[in-house]
Amino acid sequence: MSLFNQILSAIENPDQQGSPSQLGNIFNTVQQLSNNNNVDPSTIQSVLSIVGKYARPALQQKRETEGMQETQSFVNQFSGTQPSSQAVNLLFSAPQLQQIIQEIEQRTGLDAGMIQAMLPTLVPLVLNFLQTGTDTHNPQGSNSVLNAFLDTDGDGDVDIADAMQMASRYMNP
C-alpha cells in the first residue's frame, strides 16, 4: 500500500490520529512557508520530498539502534507545524544536513541559507505526516504510516510530495 493510501486509511480510521484538520494544518504550513519565502508551493513540496528521502534512513537507523517504540516516541514528540531545531539536530548529523541542503539547493535552486532556515519547520512536517498512523488508544503502539514509510523497498523514491498532492486533492475535491 502506498504512503498516500496509508495516510488516507489513517484519516478514515477513528482509532488513528490522522484527520482532515491535521492534513489541513500541514498544507497551511506549506503555504505559509511558500508565502514567507516567496517560493512556489510545489517547490516546498519537492523540498519536503527530499527531506523525507533523508528522514527515512535516519529513522530506520533510530529504529535499529533504539527500537520501534523509541522511534514512534520521537515522531510523536517532534511532529507538528511549529519549527524545531532540536528535531533537525537529533535526526540528522552535521554532514547529513550539509548533504540535504546541497541536494535541495541543486534540485530547486533555493539558497542554502533559506533552506537551512526552513529545515526546522520542514522536519516536523514530515514527522507530522508520519504521525497520522499513530494509534489513538496506544500512542506508543503500531503506526501503519510510519511502518509503511520505514519498510519501503529502498528505491530512494520518497513519495511525501506525491502523498501531499494526492491528499490535497482528497481534501479539496
Residue 25 belongs to what domain range? 3-171
Whole-number pLDDT of residue 165: 61
Q: How many domains is the chain partitioned into structurally?
A: 1
User: Cα–Cα distance between 145 and 125 in angstroms, integer?
Assistant: 14
Whole-number pLDDT of residue 86: 97
- pTM here is 0.86
Quick one: which of 155, 117, 150, 125 has its CA closest to 48? Answer: 125
Mean pLDDT by 10 residues, the chain (173 residues): 75 87 89 94 90 94 93 95 96 97 96 96 94 87 85 54 61 57
Whole-number pLDDT of residue 124: 97
